[in-house]
Amino acid sequence: MEPTKDQLLDIFKTMSTIRAFESKAVELFAAGKLPGFVHLYLGEEAVATGVCANLTIKDYITSTHRGHGHLIAKGGKIDLMMAELFGKKTGYCKGKGGSMHIADVDLGILGANGIVGAGQPISVGAAFACKYRKTDSVTVCFFGDGASNRGTFHESLNMASVWKLPVIFVAENNMYGISNSQKTSMNVADIADRAAAYGIPGVAVDGNDVIAVFEAASEAVKRARRGDGPTLIECKTWRWRGHFEGDPSVYKKPEDQESWLKKDPIPRLEAKLVDLKYATQPELDKIKSEIKAQVEDAVKFAEESALPDIEDVLTDVYAN
Amino acid sequence: MEPTKDQLLDIFKTMSTIRAFESKAVELFAAGKLPGFVHLYLGEEAVATGVCANLTIKDYITSTHRGHGHLIAKGGKIDLMMAELFGKKTGYCKGKGGSMHIADVDLGILGANGIVGAGQPISVGAAFACKYRKTDSVTVCFFGDGASNRGTFHESLNMASVWKLPVIFVAENNMYGISNSQKTSMNVADIADRAAAYGIPGVAVDGNDVIAVFEAASEAVKRARRGDGPTLIECKTWRWRGHFEGDPSVYKKPEDQESWLKKDPIPRLEAKLVDLKYATQPELDKIKSEIKAQVEDAVKFAEESALPDIEDVLTDVYAN
Amino acid sequence: MAEMTYAEAIRDGMRQEMKRDRNVYLYGEDVGIFGGCFGVTAGLFQEFGPERVIDTPITETAIAGSAVGAAAAGLRPIAEIMFVDFMGVCMDEILNQAAKMRYMFGGKAKLPMVIRTPCGAGFSAAAQHSQTLEAWFTHIPGLKVVMPGTAADGKGLMEAAIRDDNPVIFIEHKVLLGAKGEVPEGEYLVPIGKADIKREGTDVTIVAWSLMLSKALAAAESLAQEGISAEVLDPRSLVPLDKEAILNSVKKTGKLVIVHEAVRTSGFGGEIAAIVADEGFDLLDAPIKRVTAPDTPIPFSPVLESAYIPSEEKIIKAVKELF
Amino acid sequence: MAEMTYAEAIRDGMRQEMKRDRNVYLYGEDVGIFGGCFGVTAGLFQEFGPERVIDTPITETAIAGSAVGAAAAGLRPIAEIMFVDFMGVCMDEILNQAAKMRYMFGGKAKLPMVIRTPCGAGFSAAAQHSQTLEAWFTHIPGLKVVMPGTAADGKGLMEAAIRDDNPVIFIEHKVLLGAKGEVPEGEYLVPIGKADIKREGTDVTIVAWSLMLSKALAAAESLAQEGISAEVLDPRSLVPLDKEAILNSVKKTGKLVIVHEAVRTSGFGGEIAAIVADEGFDLLDAPIKRVTAPDTPIPFSPVLESAYIPSEEKIIKAVKELF
Ligand SMILES: Cc1ncc(C[n+]2csc(CCOP(=O)(O)OP(=O)(O)O)c2C)c(N)n1
Ligand SMILES: Cc1ncc(C[n+]2csc(CCOP(=O)(O)OP(=O)(O)O)c2C)c(N)n1
Ligand SMILES: [Mg+2]
Ligand SMILES: [Mg+2]
């Protein structure tokens, strides 16, 4: 199903928010303000956004180490996220989790995850819960091309398939797992082809074309809500930055980087919006600068927030 | 490639040895002479035999909890095996391993294995060693339909494929993993179809037709020796007995059991041998009774062997 | 009270909670029609149906990982891992997901899940099907670790584990499954974190759990005949550990022997010894002894296996070394 | 002697053995061109080529499992697991295959393999990238467990680990990677199983390894200024453990403090305490103290993380409690 005008404008806002958030994170990391590892989603905005535009607050997602985009697309609050990146008490996890562990269970966000592939079986469990309760909620599992080689992928897709669970597996093929090219890590061109091993539909789309992503996800979500089981969607995209901030990406070919930068999903969407007369370029530019201001506010919130109390080390280990 | 007369007669002997060994194990277990778990290969003899007839002593295999057939087919000595089943000092593992851990590294048998799927990555490592050393040895990895759902399957086939390793993955689809039907454990009819997920050939054969198994394995072994990488072969067969001795198999349909018993691979091979005039039935019967006598000798050897010394508990933990 | 086996009691605990709360369901390999590899779940499929008693493919990683997802989404899964030996297959899910999610999320998740699994040697099942691995789980903050040694505790701790809002590793002992005991009928809860003095005594404290409890009790009987009065304390849960109960007992007896079936090095006995050697140092009037399996894999042959497993005799010997 | 960092020293140890023996090869995620996530393998790809320094897909299970197969077939793999935190993914391969194969096969296999992996907090890498999990491996008979605390030991133990015919878990500390020290050039072997007294003293024994060694040494310096003479003992390998060296030191000092970065409960400190509380009970004139991380996952925020990691101050405090 094609996105409506409202949907497409929302998609634009979400992609722009991710772009602004991540661009700010580049700066903040370089300025030494963000502790730990930071893995950015720049260039991949269309994937999370196109998929999550099909979800409601009652649906679940599992995310990865490269999670900011997924979280924003699922409704995560950028001030709480930013405060978490800063390790502040007001952050999503009270400063205990950091970039790789941001979660908002009330929004159905079952967490970024520092373990490659770990979200896959978790998504199966969340989808099981929805089916068990006879709701029509679905779960989306985001993971990378690298994660597609982990055993968790196989066990999770198999289990989801035999139990016909409402889960959509979204392989974000950004061509690399750290320094390892997808081409040398697997002997199939399309990760989507692996769906056949589980008797489920598999579809590969241009992950920089948000409408293509939206449409594929829309099909898969409908199928899942209908009770027809999982789908594997592969979105081909490109990680603009190093694996983490600080990685000079020596393993990438400059010409590849260059050609992918030209496929930036945001101008592409803007052209479409203008073309469809859903908005004028000045309107879009205005939205973008509003979003940038929101991100600045989030940074301000984070910077002004208090650090966690030392005693907090010991709390939140057990419930009750 | 079709098996030669000599090969076919050898195959007959091997299958008959497995049959006799396992039939004896049924008796011995019922008589309380075999401690621990015993998982029998009755009815599946054509798989291990047809595959291993293509191997030499320099090739490797990894086996499973249901390993007696693989071990015999790869040249394992039935007296040392039997003594191990009895937990005797003269057994393959000095009584320390038992049925699930019999190994003969000098014969290239890297062990039966109590962990479902564990042989898969081990086989990849052995195949890697052969390639690294630039020998033309290959490794065969036997595992069940149930094991085809484990994460190890995925990681191993993927790694073997991207590194073009000389390994042949043999899925013994005996239709059950303990009580779980293959049909409800995976959503594909043929396990062989999963080969496509790794860009390697996959072939499904009648696992009760030893010639079909031989031919498929022959192709795969040639391919591996040539340096063209792994193959997945699925052999459809049936486990005659319960999962382990003592399991009444309530989950099997009697009519399925009955129809599969009729597909006994040994009479089928006998008919072929007679047909091809490679042997007369009386000659074959004579071979079978000789083999039975050998198995009786193995039992005698095992029964007369000494138990391990208590002090042996503490030895063989570390080399040196 | 009713006489039941340990297996029946644990099953009854599951049944009580499944009747009480529809969010509780049970799944694992062959737990349905087959009734579980050791029959612990027999009959539950018939009673609760295929929606709540579910066979899985052979995929421990997906079993444990999906329990995390289901619990985070509000269910209360009981997942069976057929042997504790197979926990290595799903350790990441236990270590990095189940145990840490709540803390990493700043307290904003609840993971009410139980992983049931049997441990122990005694059936000549050899090195990959006979281990006792509780120490690993006790080294993972965020988990609770429960190891009942009697039928009644099996039931009461199972009900408590299911109601607990944290991931609980519930370790059953294969050799105990057929052991009978008096078990309260209907709802029955044993608090997690409270030790039980299974036998009072004045001369030495023996701490033992799971199967070793019964061996310690038998040893205590023999010792009584020789004039040594042993107190036998069953911690029942290792995390949380009822440290006070142990220290109180040592205060009375001045001597401590710890018995476990796991291999010696880095077994949970070391933790208990370390606690007492610190906080109870002044209470001790003799070295702390541990009776454990040796540092070897578990051998197959029955003669070797029975030499391997800690025995009543070894407990008696260790106690006597202190007098 | 040459001054090198701990990372360079470990790399040099690998290089020496790779030059010496063609059966030695190195593989893991991003160990090639990328040089490893922490740069430890930088340059080895260029030196030894793609046949001997090999990038793998993200498949810890296949990495560890294939090391077992390759070792059984006669090679001497060095497999890298990028963080010790990911060991849960391949615990079955370590627990049930690598560690047990020799024993299960009645002594008829040799598994010369090294699994290298970095541990430790200090980079705000949070709960899934900062753990220190040696205790698990010490609870698995059949493995050796090595944890160098200096550059020289890093090199010497690496060479020894590669030549060892058993599976060795070689745990590097991320914070130490850049720490410099004097390291012998050329072939250099430090025997596995021999402790090293890194500082002599008479009043208290501090046992510490990996990063905690340097904190213990710093604490000892401060304590010296207050008139307390601390002996600092580095076991270097936990399995085999040089128990005699520890007992000899305690014999001299009468007091024992154990320091480790792992969480307290069931950390390896418990094992050492238990050994001394048994075999060295009469040597002790004070309780045994442990300085460890608390029983919580590792928090992200630097303020929390630094409160979490055992510090020089905490070591000093623990020692002073004994006087
Ligand atoms: C089990 C596990 N292995 C290795 C890592 C280290 N690691 C973190 S991200 C990453 C690459 C992941 O690649 P991919 O799945 O393609 O995701 P991307 O980073 O490209 O988004 C690796 C190897 C990890 N975190 N977990
Ligand atoms: C990792 C693991 N999970 C579960 C088991 C218990 N188990 C032993 S054999 C078996 C069934 C295996 O089925 P399959 O792979 O089809 O082999 P088959 O027994 O049919 O030959 C199971 C579940 C195990 N040994 N290891
Ligand atoms: Mg990627
Ligand atoms: Mg099967």
| DSSP letter for each residue of B159-197 | HHHHTT--EEEEEEE-SEETTEEHHHH-S-S-GGGGGGG
**Measuring from each residue's beta carbon to the nearest atom of ligand 1, which residues come in under 6 Å?**
A 65-66, 114-117, 143-147, 172, 174, 176-178, 239, 243; D 29, 58, 60, 82, 86, 89
What's residue A200's pLDDT?
98
- CB C151 less than 6 A from any atom of ligand 2: no
- In this structure, what token pair is assigned to residue A85? 């990146």
**Angstrom distance (rounded) from CA C101 to CA C81:** 21
* Chain D environment of A116 (Cβ under 8 Å): 58
User: Is D297 part of any domain?
Assistant: yes
User: Do C137 and C211 reside in the same domain of the chain?
Assistant: no
The answer to whether B161 contacts chain A (CB < 8 Å) is yes
ipTM above 0.90, yes or no: yes
Residue C33 in contact with partner chain A when CB distance is under 8 A: no
Give me the mean pLDDT over the A144-159 stretch.
Answer: 98
d(CA D121, CA C18): 42
CATH of the domain at C309: 3.40.50.920
Mean pLDDT of chain C: 98
Q: Are B151 and A155 in contact (CB < 8 Å)?
A: yes
The CATH number for D18's domain is: 3.40.50.970
Q: Looking at CA atoms only, how far is residue B184 from chain A in angstroms? A: 6
Kindly determine whether residue A121 and residue C141, on different chains, have CB atoms separated by under 8 Å: no
Q: Which tens digit of pLDDT belongs to each residue from B9-31?
A: 999 999 999 999 999 999 999 99
- Asked if B129 lies within 8 A of D141 by C-beta distance, the reply is no
Contacts of C93 in chain D (CB under 8 A): 88
User: Tens digit of pLDDT for each residue in D128-156?
Assistant: 999 999 999 999 999 999 999 999 999 99
**Per-residue pLDDT at D70:** 98
> Is the pLDDT assigned to residue D90 strictly greater than 90?
yes
Instruction: Quickly state the pLDDT bin for D102 (edges 50, 70, 90).
Output: very high
Same domain assignment for residues D238 and D291: yes
Q: D109 and D163: one domain?
A: yes
Read off the pLDDT of residues B161-206 as tens digits, 9 standing for 90 and up.
999 999 999 999 999 999 999 999 999 999 999 999 999 999 999 9
**Residue C188 domain-assigned (yes or no):** no
Q: Average pLDDT for residues D165-193, to the nearest whole number?
A: 98
Contact partners, residue C263, CB within 8 Å, separation at least 6: C292, C293, C294, C295, C296, D139, D141
Residue to substitute in A42, A44, A47, A65 for testing ligand 1 pocket (most ligand atoms within 8 angstroms of CB): A65
Distance CA(A235)–CA(A168), nearest Å, equals: 12
Band of the pLDDT at C305, cuts 50, 70, 90? very high
CA distance linking residue B109 with residue B112, whole number of Å: 8
Chain center to CA of A145: 13
Whole-number pLDDT of residue D306: 98
- Domain contains C88: yes
Q: Does A246 touch chain D (CB under 8 A)?
A: no
Q: Report pLDDT digits (tens) over D6-44.
A: 999 999 999 999 999 999 999 999 999 999 999 999 999
Is C62–A316 a contact, with Cβ atoms under 8 angstroms apart? Answer: no
Distance from the Cα of D307 to chain B's closest Cα (Å) equals: 38
Residues from chain D contacting residue B126 (CB–CB below 8 Å): 69-70, 72-73
In the structure encoding, which two tokens stand for residue D231, read together? 């002996």
Share of chain A above pLDDT 90, in %: 99
Question: Structural domain boundaries of chain A?
Answer: 5-299
Chain-centroid distance of CA C165 in Å reads 18
Tens digit of each residue's pLDDT (9 = 90 or more) over C256-267: 999 999 999 999
Q: Of all atoms in ligand 1, which is nearest to the CA of residue D89?
A: 1
d(CA C2, CA D80): 55
Tokens (6 digits) for B268: 């089928």
Asked whether residue D283 falls in the same domain as residue D237, the answer is yes
Q: Is A140 within 8 Å of chain C by CB?
A: no
- Residue ranges of the alpha helices (H) in chain B? 5-30, 45-52, 68-73, 78-85, 119-132, 151-162, 182-185, 210-226, 254-261, 265-275, 281-304
State the Cα–Cα distance between residues C213 and C100, nearest whole angstrom.
31
Name the CA dihedral angle for A220, A226, A228, A231, rounded to a multiple of 10 degrees: 10
For residue B43, report the distance from its CA to the centre of ligand 4, in Å: 12
pLDDT > 90? residue A1: no
Quick one: pLDDT at residue D205? 99
Instruction: State yes or no: pLDDT of C315 exceeds 90.
Output: yes
Look at D61 and A151 and tell me if their CB atoms are within 8 Å.
yes
Short-list A111, B295, D60, D64, CA closest to C98 = A111
Ligand 2 pocket residue status of B240, Cβ below 6 Å: no
- Closest residue in D to C285 (Cα–Cα): D281
Q: Are B256 and B194 in contact (CB under 8 A)?
A: no
Helix (H) or strand (E) holding C152, with range, is helix C151-163
Give A243-300 pLDDT, tens digit per residue: 999 999 999 999 999 999 999 999 999 999 999 999 999 999 999 999 999 999 999 9
CATH level 2 (architecture), domain A5-299: 3-Layer(aba) Sandwich (3.40)
- Look at chain C and report how many structural domains it folds into: 2
CA atoms within 13 A on the CB side of B51: 37
Whether the CB of A276 is below 8 Å from some CB of chain D: the reply is no
| Smallest-distance ligand from the CA of A178 | 1
Chain C contact for B250 (CB, 8 A cutoff):
yes
Phi, psi (degrees; rounded to nearest 5) at A206: -70, 110
CA-nearest residue to C321 within chain D is D278
pLDDT digits (tens, 9 = 90+) for C273-297: 999 999 999 999 999 999 999 999 9
- Residue C145 contacts residue C172 (beta carbons within 8 Å): no
Per-residue pLDDT at B1 exceeds 90: no
CB within 8 Å: C128 and B115: yes
- Whether A97 and C107 lie within 8 Å, measured CB to CB: no
> Which residue among C128, C149, C183 closes a domain?
C183
Given this model, what pLDDT does residue A217 score?
98
Q: Is C187 left (phi over 0), alpha (psi -120 to 50) or beta?
A: beta
Q: Say whether both C145 and C261 belong to one domain.
A: no
Angle at C313 between CA C309 and CA C317, to 5 degrees: 115
CA B147 to CA B119: how far, in whole Å?
10
User: What is residue B72's predicted lDDT score, i.e. its pLDDT?
Assistant: 98
Q: Are residues D100 and D164 in the same domain?
A: yes
Q: Which residues of A touch B151 (CB under 8 A)?
A: 150-155
Cα dihedral C255, C260, C263, C268 sign: negative
Q: Give yes or no: residues D227 and D177 share one domain.
A: no
Q: Is residue D295 part of a domain?
A: yes
Does C79 share its domain with C172?
yes
Q: What is the pLDDT of residue A160?
A: 98
Instruction: Please state whether the peptide bond connecting residue C240 to the residue before it is cis, i.e. omega within 30 degrees of 0.
Output: yes
B180 lines ligand 2 (CB under 6 A): no
Chain A residue numbers with beta carbons less than 8 Å from the beta carbon of C67 are 125
* A135 has a chain D CB within 8 A of its CB: no
- Under 8 Å between Cβ of B27 and B241: no
**Sorting pLDDT into bands at 50, 70 and 90, what band is B320?**
confident
Tell me which ligand sits closest to the C-alpha of residue B65.
Answer: 2
pLDDT single digits (tens) D204-259: 999 999 999 999 999 999 999 999 999 999 999 999 999 999 999 999 999 999 99
Residues D167 and D237 in one domain: no
Residue pLDDT, tens place only, B65-114: 999 999 999 999 999 999 999 999 999 999 999 999 999 999 999 999 99
What separation in Å is there between the alpha carbon of C31 and the centre of ligand 4? Answer: 17
- Whether D129 sits among the annotated catalytic residues: the reply is yes
Nearest Cα neighbor of D176 from D149, D157, D158 is D149
Q: Whose CA is nearest to atom 25 of ligand 1?
A: A115
Q: Compute the average pLDDT of residues C216-241.
A: 98
Distance, CA of C128 to CA of D312 (rounded, Å): 42
- For the cut 90, the answer to whether the pLDDT of residue A320 exceeds it is no
Give which of B314, A33, A294, A129 is closest to C263, Cα–Cα: B314
* Nearest ligand by distance to the CA of B155: 1
**In this predicted model, what pLDDT tens digit does every residue of B236-255 receive, in sequence order?**
999 999 999 999 999 999 99
Contact B109, B63 (CB under 8 A): yes
Same-domain check for residues D115 and D227: no
Contact residues for C198 (Cβ-Cβ < 8 A; gap 6+): C149, C150, C213, C217, C232, C233, C234
Domain check: are D250 and D177 in the same one? no
Tokens of B313: 């508990």
Residue C200 is part of which domain span? Answer: 196-320
Helix extents (H) in chain D: 6-20, 44-48, 60-72, 91-92, 101-104, 134-138, 151-163, 211-225, 243-253, 268-279, 302-308, 312-320
Q: Among C183, C211, C226, which residue terminates a domain?
A: C183
Pairing mode of beta strands C144-146, C237-239: antiparallel
Same domain, D82 and D174: yes
Residue nearest atom 17 of ligand 1, based on CA coordinates: A144
